Structure 1
């Protein structure tokens, strides 16, 4: 078969290729947005991440404060008794019972560790959200491209139907149906354009840009199957997830708080050193005192403090268990979504879409010789369109599920 005959028999395939090339040329002047570049920008500029980092820095500054002795007190006074005039000057220092300051430092350290895990979890959550929006934007761009391709073919179908109608080989309803489908596509394109603008604003918000800042088309995404099994991911949750690690640090902090509460049964001390100067007799003296804080009301104070710390530890431990169960359920859900998407991607790519294209070619050839009506040809085209949209949708859902898993575990699954 010569090239001219090939064009004559497969004009719809040629038109489809030309339409695809035309849509791709529309973005030829743009440099595609790379996801890695957007992730780096978000890590550097996102307000939630920066605020979380400052909270971590603030918590680290608390540790040396609580491990330090209370500020000493300086005493200066004057006493007049009859002919005596005395000037007093001295220093007093509170000294907590040995071990209390160390325990307070450990509690502050565990608090700082927890806030560090919150910082890491915030990073993962922001990046996971950015990736989801990026993939949604990618699907919008793919949808616009596919619908524009279909619109060009429908316009060609309309011209063909109009030509056949003019010679009495087709009904006027063929022309009207083609025009109706073109109008429906224009409405869908308008909705997609609004969605594209909304996603642009969402990405700019995450990157701390102005909502109206321009964003070029996203780079192409590649199918990457999940590397780990559900069992592996569940094991990684306990080892690497900042969400779970942060709650575990809170449990450790609560355990240290119980130890400190029990240490409150022991007394604190205060040492006073006072110098005395008799200005009349020109004599000097000194006074040293040791004050002991007696936990006299331990039954209603220190004991209840221990009970409070124990109950708090138990509550935090149960929160940890609840969070772990929730994260395991989310992992299972996202793994199920990933597995479903992988199956559908392979089925659509290897079977359904090639079959739909062959069906369209067959319908075009049969319509040319009057063996099928225009509705059959139109359904073949729209079926191919929806199958391609579903393929790109499943590609995006697969990527989004992997992004959510990474946000939970902290490791690319």
Structure 2
């Protein structure tokens, strides 16, 4: 019985030993672009920094419109009581004690304007955080698309390499039979060497892309990433209407959102500057103590006199210039972004048409040409150079097909960056 129990215990320990590494193993991300974006949103330090700055700016709104702290003053008068006693600091033994409680009051509307300026500055900080995320998401989407292209290019290169190995064998058989020159075998071997060199270059590019993506995800440079499985589906052409997208860009673009907040803050700042023509007040109440009793009360009002008109006029001209500058900057940014949108829309349409031509025309023609060249080489009707050219045409057609898909994805990422949201 003990032997049976021991066997069961050993078996259980073996199962645990096999299961634990799998369960503890970190899930490899990267098979989809969404998995990368989810990690980046919570881990990228630059985006976290911008979010925290936006939170900090939002906390400045309340104190911006708050009243300043009140002030308290204590005055001990005649501390020697006309020389009848030694100096003292006891309020009930001096000639009189004056207590003064004061509160500064800005001119009407100034507090609201300061609060509104701080609010728009907080909106600008939030817009900068959104713009940081849009830039980060675009870099991840483009990096993922490039990685997809490199993986498919690598797979295609390996397929062509296997094909060249088979063609070399065909050339060797024909050379052994005296039907082909030795040069055909050598050219096949040279082509294989070139393909292996390209594979090394592709591995290096993939390594660099993995490193850059891991940096965006705040992960170690050598952290594993899964191979990209598929690209995101492109939106239907009807969803890429220029007029609709231009309106969405003007309403949602983070940069324009930031520029609009900057313009609103400048306009409110200008109003606040003009309000500085009017004085601020200080009010106070003052009880006066004699011995152990308060026998007098005083009220006070204090105000500053805005006499420095030349200084205030200069500040007003400055605020007018800042408003005009903010408005011009927003208009300039709008024109630039609309131009980028037009370029990307044209490019994504070109990529669609290029992919369609490669899929429906170029690739079938190249495959037909290769089969014809292979049959002709086996019968001695065409030379080996013609066969190699036909093989290269197939590879070029497939590369063009994948490159067009990746180009469309990159342009889609740029359009989504301009819109500030996914399509």
Q: Which moved more, 1:84-93 or 1:107-116?
A: 84-93
Q: Pick from 72, 87, 92 the counterpart of residue 74 of structure 1.
A: 72
Q: For 1:247 and 1:155, how far apart are their aligned partners in 2?
A: 60
Maintained 8 Å contact 2:157/2:199: yes
Q: For 2:294 and 2:117, how far apart are their aligned partners in 1?
A: 49
Q: Give 1:12's aligned residue.
A: none
Counterparts of residues 5-44 of structure 1 (less than 5 Å): 33-44=31-42
- Residue aligned with 1:75, SS: strand
Q: Does 1:195 align with 2:205?
A: yes
Instruction: Give the TM-score normalised by the residue count of structure 1.
Output: 0.89
Counterparts of residues 50-65 of structure 1 (less than 5 Å): 50-65=48-63
Q: Does 1:278 align with 2:290?
A: yes
Q: Give 2:360's aligned residue.
A: 350
Maintained 8 Å contact 2:29/2:36: no
Q: Give 2:268's aligned residue.
A: 256
CA separation of 1:87 and 1:244: change in aligned 2, threshold 3 A: same
Q: Does 1:156 align with 2:135?
A: no
- Residue aligned with 1:168, SS: coil
Q: For 1:395 and 1:34, how far apart are their aligned partners in 2?
A: 16
Q: For 2:166 and 2:202, how far apart are their aligned partners in 1?
A: 23
Maintained 8 Å contact 2:337/2:418: yes
The alpha carbon displacement at 1:43 in A equals: 1.3
Q: Give 1:311's aligned residue.
A: 321
Q: Pick from 146, 157, 168 the counterpart of residue 136 of structure 1.
A: 146
Q: Which moved more, 1:235-244 or 1:140-149?
A: 235-244
Q: Give 2:184's aligned residue.
A: 174
The alpha carbon displacement at 1:189 in A equals: 0.7
The alpha carbon displacement at 1:31 in A equals: 8.0
Q: Give 1:325's aligned residue.
A: 335
Q: Which moved more, 1:34-43 or 1:194-203?
A: 34-43
- Residue aligned with 2:381, SS: coil
Q: For 1:102 and 1:246, how far apart are their aligned partners in 2?
A: 21
Q: For 1:223 and 1:282, how far apart are their aligned partners in 2?
A: 85
- Unaligned 5+ segments in structure 1 are 1-29
Q: For 2:268 and 2:111, how far apart are their aligned partners in 1?
A: 12
Q: For 1:67 and 1:32, how far apart are their aligned partners in 2?
A: 47
The alpha carbon displacement at 1:65 in A equals: 0.2
Q: Does 1:147 align with 2:157?
A: yes
The alpha carbon displacement at 1:101 in A equals: 0.2
Q: Pick from 289, 294, 298 the counterpart of residue 305 of structure 2.
A: 294
Q: Which moved more, 1:43-52 or 1:319-328?
A: 43-52
Q: Give 2:369's aligned residue.
A: 359
Maintained 8 Å contact 2:29/2:225: no
Q: For 1:388 and 1:60, how far apart are their aligned partners in 2?
A: 52
Q: For 1:301 and 1:409, how far apart are their aligned partners in 2?
A: 43
The alpha carbon displacement at 1:411 in A equals: 3.6
Q: Give 1:23's aligned residue.
A: none
The alpha carbon displacement at 1:90 in A equals: 2.1
Q: For 1:223 and 1:385, how far apart are their aligned partners in 2?
A: 24
The alpha carbon displacement at 1:223 in A equals: 5.1
Q: For 1:149 and 1:313, how far apart are their aligned partners in 2?
A: 62
Q: Deviations over 1:3-53 (max 9, x none)?
A: xxxxxxxxxxxxxxxxxxxxxxxxxxx886121111111112111221111
Maintained 8 Å contact 2:215/2:221: yes
Q: For 1:32 and 1:409, how far apart are their aligned partners in 2?
A: 25
CA-atom RMSD, angstroms?
1.6
Q: For 1:208 and 1:152, how far apart are their aligned partners in 2?
A: 38
CA separation of 1:153 and 1:69: change in aligned 2, threshold 3 A: same
The alpha carbon displacement at 1:231 in A equals: 2.4
Q: For 2:97 and 2:31, how far apart are their aligned partners in 1?
A: 77
- Residue aligned with 1:300, SS: helix
Q: Give 1:246's aligned residue.
A: 258
Q: Which moved more, 1:54-63 or 1:236-245?
A: 236-245
Q: For 2:231 and 2:135, how far apart are their aligned partners in 1?
A: 21
Maintained 8 Å contact 1:35/1:219: no
